[in-house]
């Protein structure tokens, strides 16, 4: 996809999630909570001692529940006073299935008719 293409500005569906992420940048690391994830990135709460800028590369270790650990490479794409946004640059093949499965469960949920959601 070209950086100038209209697809570049599409925003993928975001799944709200309560999870922890370890962010590593060389000798620096932070642990924080994830607000939401999508097929292309995630949004996390900004750690108090955050010391990185948009465009910097990092490694994310996403921990979901007791059984799921997804290791990702990403770039910092967005910074606010309270949040840090990341875009994935590399998802290891052995973790793709786990990530797509997690997002697929959410897509199945939001695509259900309203009556089925209210029964939850």
Whether 32 maps to a domain, the answer reads yes
Looking at residue 56, which CATH number applies to its domain?
Answer: 2.40.10.220
At 12 the pLDDT is 54
68 and 36 Cβ atoms separated by less than 8 Å = no
pLDDT value at residue 5: 46
Can you tell me which residue has the tokens 């990341």? 86
Q: Which of 74, 107, 105 is nearest to 91 (CA)?
A: 74
- Report pLDDT for 100: 80
Residue ranges for the chain with pLDDT beneath 70: 1-13, 105-120
Q: Which domain covers residue 82, as residue numbers?
A: 6-113
Report the C-alpha gap between 79 and 61 in whole angstroms.
19
In a domain, 118, yes or no: no
1 falls within a domain:
no
The pLDDT tens digits of the residues spanning 37-47 come to 988 999 999 99
pLDDT at 90: 92
Residue 118: predicted pLDDT = 53
Under 8 Å CB-to-CB from 70, ≥6 apart: which residues?
Answer: 61, 62, 64, 91, 95, 98, 99
Domain count, the chain: 1
Q: In this predicted structure, what is the pLDDT of residue 4?
A: 46
The pLDDT value given to residue 86: 97
């Amino acid at each position: 996809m070209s950086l100038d293409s209209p697809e570049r500005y599409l925003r993928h569906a975001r799944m709200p999630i309560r999870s922890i992420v370890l962010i590593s940048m060389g000798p620096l690391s932070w642990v924080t909570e994830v607000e939401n994830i999508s097929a292309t990135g995630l949004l996390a709460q900004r750690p108090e001692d955050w010391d990185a800028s948009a465009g910097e590369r990092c490694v994310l270790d996403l921990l979901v529940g007791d059984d799921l650990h997804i290791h990702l490479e990403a770039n910092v794409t967005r910074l606010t006073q309270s949040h840090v946004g990341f875009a994935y640059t590399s998802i290891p093949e052995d973790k793709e299935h786990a990530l797509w499965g997690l997002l697929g469960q959410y897509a199945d949920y939001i695509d259900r008719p309203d009556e089925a959601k209210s029964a939850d």
